[in-house]
Structure 1
Amino acid sequence: MTNPEVPVPPPPPEEPGTDPAPGQPEPVASEAPATGRWPHLLERANWVALGLTAAATVLFAVRYFADKVDTGHTQRDGWAPLMISGVLFALSLSAALLRPFLLTTKRCALMATAATVIFAVGIVTIWQIVAHDMETSTMVGKPVNSLAATDKHLEQTLGKAYPKFRKIPTGLFIQGAKFSSPEEVEVNGYVWQRYTDDVPETSRGVTFPEAPDGYDLEQVYKAKTTDGLTVQGWHFNLTLRQKFEYERYPLDKQNIWLRMMTVSAFENEVLVPDFSSYPPWRYDNVGLDQDIVSAGWSPYYTGYSYLGHKYTATMGVTPFASNFLTVPELYFNIGVARKYAGPLTGKLLQSFFIAAIMFLALFVYTKDDKKNPRFGFSTWTAISFAVSLLLVVVVDQTQIREIAGDTSLTYLEFFAIAQYVVIMGIFANAIIIGSEAEVKALEWRDNLLPTLLYWPVLIGLFFAFTVFVFAK
């Protein structure tokens, strides 16, 4: 007598978000809309986001390339909206192709990798835009690059009194510039003036009012020119105290300016650039020694400009009057760009190794009792680890503050802020894992979610801070 076959019940349907067994193809049910409501809704929302970001990227790209380059810049300014929309479009496109909504390990890992690469490419692109913008908008006051432009500006500034002023042609040749502190720069070179015979000796010379500790001004030559004028030249060494902005360090650009006044202060005399002693003026390195010494910096423009200062005293030369005239003062500007490769590479290497150590720590945090004896995981170990990393980042930030002085937060310090956020997140993750609390998101695949989100969150914060600093 044979026993009837006992029917074998069908295997239970595989839950969405589980990986197939090794060597087996991924079940179709895990990718079909019927596997769950939320994957389907998220995928539809992503398609909407993909369309919106694609339209925004095209719109901002058209506007970016249609706009003219602003005066004082060599790059267009409207890159920030284009960069943000482009990154969001790339993220939506990656999500549409990789479909991480199905919550399989492979798909989520690929999406995390794609997001990290997209953010990193966005950061490097912004660096290139900022580094190649040879802006001259940092010049003090009103730039002038010819004698005609000088006459026009002085006539507009001085009005009817302009014909009464004696113009003294003055020129500069810079041989060296070196930052000795965040607010001081040492400059040396030559300054000369050309005079007609009616210029008295008391009017011959130039002063640098922004040299707080005095300066050496040594006459090195005096001669007659072919056009009958007298030229007199001096060699100078200055230590200038100026306020520089380091918010973009190490991708910052600074303007070193030399403010000049006549030695006969508050009389009807004005210094004018001696453009006849230079080739046709362009905002490049005219007036600089080809072998200029500028440690850590690269000069990329020079230019003359005027800025009027309103004094509340006549220095005893004349009685003060309500209609006291403010004379425009001549400036020589030197635009310098920091050589950023060294500081940026050093910071990136340090940040990468700290980030890699924090990332590896996520593989130790587990609720699996079988793994705990092997890894030696404990809440106190996690606290000690987080504190030690915080100390390393704090010391590095202190060194940056020494370079930037008392300015506001620099760009590299935002790297430290991003690391603070991630370290605190890892610390909170370890506390929750070590407690009795049940958080499904952390229990999924034994703390896999924080591991997948780590690099996209960290590099995403770097990208957000990069846009915030350089788009201002």
Structure 2
Amino acid sequence: MVQDSRTRTDRDYTRHDNDTGRWDDDPLSVETTRRFARRFTTVNRILLGLGVFGFVCALLIDRRRGGAGPDPEHPSGFVAWVLYAVVLGILLATELLGPLKRPVARRIRQRCAALSAIVTLICLLGLSAVWTTVYRTSSMGEIPGTIVNSVPEADAYLSGHLADGVGTIRVPTGMSIQSIDFGDDSSNVRISGFVWQKIPHGAPIRPGVLFPEAEDAYTAADSAAPAYTEQTPGHTLYGWYFSSIFRQLFDYSSYPLDKQAVWLRMWAADFDAPAILVPDFDGYPTWRLHDMTGVDPGMVYDDWNPDFTAFSYQTNTYSATFGYQRDGVADSAAKPELYFSAGLKRDPQAPFFGQLIRWMFIAVIVFAALFLITVDTERRALVGFTTFELVGFGVGILLVIIFDQVAIRESVGARGVVYLEYFSYALYAMIALVGVNAMLLTGRTRHRWLIWGGNLLPKILYWPTYFGLVLLVTVLTFR
């Protein structure tokens, strides 16, 4: 029965080839397609079986370690699960669709085109899942030190990190941000707002807050006139207005899905005083991280969306005694330092709609150029296709992409490669592959995999390859 079935299949291929002619200008197309179909189906089923087995094993191992499988709250692990799902989806779609099962040329073309569209859609769904997960994740991991959300949390942290006799005087300190403006330099941000202190009566300290990263570190010290003061039974309130450029190393590698935590480090004006700055939670309503407490409600965020505000402590060590005649590091340098952080998420709509849509049109034009590449010499002369003209076309497209890429780097000011640039690199690869495809077809040596179906493989692999490259880079960037 197996021999009869195989002979009948061969007869079907041969009959179709004789009835309709050589559909891909290759006299060995029928035999080649039949052999390739068997190998292709066998390999795909093996990979599908291994993929399902690996997916189940990974899920069991994750459960045993206490994980919950694909969890959008943990982007690094979720991105890996998305990649697994995309690979399995592609293998399953290939098995179900079976583009080479029927020996009819038209059916092969239709099913190959349908499989290409399905694989492209799966890659796009994977990209959307990763983008959504990454954007929803907060940038709280960029906050320096340990977050404190209340007076008891601050007291608990300080009790475990203060040396004996240090920080005996607690100075409540608050912050209200009026504006945040990222400058042209990728390491500069201009911040303005108010900072206040409540100095206990009789405390042997002078009022003032120092910003070590500011251009003018003494903007809010006693050398500057307070914006307001108030006497109360227990303390004296001092408030200063400040506006300065702060130096901070920002990471733009995931642009336009980057998130930044803009932080202000604060020191007491008395460098060696027995005082420690503590958050003045009494100066705010009930503190909630994502309510943007401590930020002017009317603040203009430009290209950013608000995420959170938080106080935190971090103990920094320095390789100097600051002139004090003591062994090791100065006591004041070993104290926990107070930080106020504001988290911002970049609004990705402008970069995505501005750059990606333009690059998608370019990708469509490059894809359309594939249909001008033909193995038929008469049709080639009719459409005016030559390798030189295709190379010139590719160079013109490359210049447009390069100008866009330079504009991105100038607007962001990043030092390394940013995520959005990988879309242009994928386009570079596709343009190069289309050029190589044209040169191979016009060369003296004919490759069967190229002339099969009239240059069918490059056409059906174009979009899956492009979005597959983008998805792979996305997974590597956000894993």
Q: What is the match of residue 246 of structure 2? A: 240
Q: What is the match of residue 412 of structure 1? A: 420
Deviation at 1:460, TM superposition (A): 0.8
Q: CA 1:40–1:230 in structure 2 vs 1: closer, same or farther (change >3 Å)?
A: same
Of residues 300, 304, 320, the one that matches 2:311 is 304
Paired amino acid for 1:150: A
Deviation at 1:92, TM superposition (A): 1.4
Backbone CA RMSD of aligned residues: 2.9
**Structure 2 residue 99 is the aligned partner of structure 1 residue 100:** yes
Residue by residue, what CA displacement relative to the aligned partner does 1:277-308 show, whole Å, maximum 9, x if unpaired? Answer: 22332211111111222211112111111222
Q: What is the match of residue 262 of structure 2? A: 256
Deviation at 1:52, TM superposition (A): 3.4
Residue by residue, what CA displacement relative to the aligned partner does 1:302-335 show, whole Å, maximum 9, x if unpaired? Answer: 111122232344444x324336322221110111
Q: CA 1:388–1:281 in structure 2 vs 1: closer, same or farther (change >3 Å)?
A: same
The structure showing larger relative contact order (alpha-carbon pairs under 8 Å, at least 6 residues apart) is 2
Q: Secondary structure at the match of 1:259?
A: strand
Q: Secondary structure at the match of 2:397?
A: helix
Structure 2 gap segments, 5+ residues each = 1-7, 21-30
Residues in 2 aligned to 1:362 and 1:35: alpha-carbon distance in whole angstroms = 22
Q: What is the match of residue 179 of structure 2? A: 176
Q: Secondary structure at the match of 1:15?
A: helix
Deviation at 1:417, TM superposition (A): 1.2
Paired amino acid for 2:48: L
Q: Secondary structure at the match of 2:344?
A: strand
Q: CA 1:238–1:323 in structure 2 vs 1: closer, same or farther (change >3 Å)?
A: closer
Deviation at 1:403, TM superposition (A): 3.0
Paired amino acid for 1:195: I
Residues in 2 aligned to 1:454 and 1:16: alpha-carbon distance in whole angstroms = 30
Q: CA 1:323–1:378 in structure 2 vs 1: closer, same or farther (change >3 Å)?
A: closer
Residue by residue, what CA displacement relative to the aligned partner does 1:343-402 show, whole Å, maximum 9, x if unpaired? Answer: 112122011111011001111112312112221111111111111112122221112222
Q: Tell me if the contact between 2:76 and 2:478 (Cα under 8 Å) persists in the aligned partners.
A: no
Of residues 204, 207, 215, the one that matches 1:204 is 207
Of residues 36, 42, 45, the one that matches 2:43 is 45
Deviation at 1:156, TM superposition (A): 2.1
Of residues 219, 228, 250, the one that matches 1:221 is 228
Q: What is the match of residue 123 of structure 1? A: 127
Deviation at 1:161, TM superposition (A): 3.2
Q: Tell me if the contact between 1:67 and 1:76 (Cα under 8 Å) persists in the aligned partners.
A: no
Q: CA 1:68–1:371 in structure 2 vs 1: closer, same or farther (change >3 Å)?
A: closer
Q: What is the match of residue 366 of structure 1? A: 374
- Matches for 1:385-464 after TM superposition, within 5 Å: 385-464=393-472
- Alignment size in residue pairs: 445
Q: CA 1:440–1:66 in structure 2 vs 1: closer, same or farther (change >3 Å)?
A: same
Residues in 1 aligned to 2:16 and 2:336: alpha-carbon distance in whole angstroms = 75
Deviation at 1:191, TM superposition (A): 0.6
Residue by residue, what CA displacement relative to the aligned partner does 1:36-92 show, whole Å, maximum 9, x if unpaired? Answer: 4442343233233333333444555674896379xxx95454212311111111111
Structure 1 gap segments, 5+ residues each = 1-9, 23-32
Q: Secondary structure at the match of 2:202?
A: coil
Q: What is the match of residue 328 of structure 1? A: 336
Q: Secondary structure at the match of 2:174?
A: strand
Q: Tell me if the contact between 2:314 and 2:337 (Cα under 8 Å) persists in the aligned partners.
A: yes
Deviation at 1:450, TM superposition (A): 0.7
Of residues 372, 384, 389, the one that matches 2:392 is 384
56-65 vs 228-237, which moves further: 56-65
Q: What is the match of residue 27 of structure 1? A: none
Paired amino acid for 1:146: S
